[in-house]
Amino acid sequence: MTVALPSIAFYEPRIPENTGNAIRLSAVTGAPLRLIEPLGFSMEESKLRRAGLDYHDLASVTIHPDLEALLADLPQARVFAFTARASVTYTDVDFRADDVLLFGPEPTGLPEDVLAHPRITERLRIPMLPGRRSLNLANCAAITIYEAARQLGFNPPDAA
């Protein structure tokens, strides 16, 4: 059984391999991937294509010219902004299929003006050991989308 999942949104992604991995994540989970320009690479870049393997045609990827365009496309969505400076953890949220999980670029994360945007429902964090700067962007998206999938009843049939 598959279920609808929240969108994964990368704000101004800069590292093609992370976006390639997110494309792969979208393909295997069914979660829509939304990329907010400007992108720090071409969608035809070989590193992006290699990281996404042959999953590009299986993923749902939308490129938005800016954050406002994404928000206009999803007017009812709750938007969860991920930052190491949040006090609420991602496991404290009851996710819905129409949510947006918004991640900032490496190495800077989401800028303060995005974090303060009135459409941001909540700032969330993924716990880490003290003194560590950050997790890999694609790993953050994977951790969170699988928690949302677990909550929403995602239970794919065994491939074996």
Q: Tell me the CATH number at 37.
A: 3.40.1280.10
123 is a domain residue: yes
pLDDT class of 143 with cuts at 50, 70, 90: very high
Bridge partner list, 125: 89
134 is a domain residue: yes
Query: For tokens 């393909």, what's the residue?
Result: 27
156 is a domain residue: no
Please check whether residue 44 is in contact with residue 16, taking contact to mean a CB–CB distance below 8 angstroms.
Answer: no
26 is a domain residue: yes
pLDDT at 157 over 80: no
13 is a domain residue: yes
- Number of folded domains in the chain? 1
- At 72, is the secondary structure helix, strand, or coil? helix
Domain that holds residue 131: 7-151
Query: For tokens 């991920």, what's the residue?
Result: 82
pLDDT of residue 1: 40
Mean pLDDT of 60-68: 96
Mean pLDDT of 97-109: 94
Mean pLDDT of 99-128: 96
145 is a domain residue: yes
66 is a domain residue: yes
Please check whether residue 16 is in contact with residue 41, taking contact to mean a CB–CB distance below 8 angstroms.
Answer: yes
Mean pLDDT of 102-107: 93
pLDDT of residue 53: 53
pLDDT class of 45 with cuts at 50, 70, 90: low
The two three-digit tokens of residue 114, written as one number: 């995005």
Mean pLDDT of 21-34: 93
pLDDT at 62 over 50: yes
DSSP assigned state of 64: E
Residue 114 and residue 117: Cα distance in Å, rounded? Answer: 5
157 is a domain residue: no
